Amino acid sequence: MAEHAAPRPQYRWWIPAAVIAVAIALVAMILLNDRGQDADSTATPDEPGEPDVVVTEVEDPEQADVDTSGSDRADDPLADGPSDAPVTLVVFSDYQCPFCAAWSQDTLPKMLDYVDSGDLRIEWREVNVFGSASKQAAKAAYAAALQDQHWEFHDALFSDGEPRSPDELTPEALTEVAEQIGLDIDRFTSDMNSEKTAEAVAENEKMGTDLGAFSTPTFLLNGQPYVGAQPTSVFVDAIEEAKKGQS
């Protein structure tokens, strides 16, 4: 699905300290009792069924002057949309994050409409703040992306706007998903377990944590940070404004 266009010039992103301060002030940390994962976070929705902002305290945010040239690769399988699109949306996500799942169901389809119209490029980055099961899912999603089925695999893991439990993110369970969406299983298994995939997943994760994206979802829209599963209108308005600025 990723478009193999010429890479954009290298640029740098960072989350301003002021945004981090706001995020910290809104602390609503996730604790999923059935997860037993490495992440140390909890969440409390304002209303039943509505996603809340998920934040984790960031140490030393000033370190976030990061080389992100890796995200400009023309062959990045987790990128979708023209490299010269007027707007770029970088998504920092986690396959065990309920707010990422909700955003993917509610807002991602509209974002993909902008991709289809050539107005938006999406670069997906898994930061795996929930631990080893998330990292395994990220490797599987990367392997699926190498067969141009990133979104199909992504949608299967976030079916009905809900994340899977850790025991549904084992290599065996993830291979079943690959079979269901029609991937070449031999290639999928090889890619999921390859050193190249592990390096790519680690690189994307480091990009997020170096930028201070310890909470999920976090977004950079043309370098402007947005923390939490904001309503679709927030992204639509920001994209439309960014398009005007590029015209």
Span 131-164, pLDDT tens digits: 999 999 999 999 999 999 999 999 999 999 999 9
Q: How confident is the model at residue 74 (pLDDT cuts 50, 70, 90)?
A: low
| Tokens 């067969």 -> residue | 147
Q: How confident is the model at residue 243 (pLDDT cuts 50, 70, 90)?
A: confident
Instruction: Provide φ and ψ at 14, rounded to 5°.
Output: -155, 150
Write down the mean pLDDT value for the chain: 78
Half-sphere exposure of 188 (CA within 13 A, CB side): 27
- pTM for this predicted structure: 0.73
Span 106-119, pLDDT tens digits: 999 999 999 999 99
Token couple for 239: 């994209």
Span 202-228, pLDDT tens digits: 999 999 988 888 889 999 999 999 999
Token couple for 144: 């699926």
Within 8 A by CB and 6+ apart from 180, the residues are: 156
Token couple for 55: 């934040």
Are the C-beta atoms of 74 and 108 separated by less than 8 Å?
no
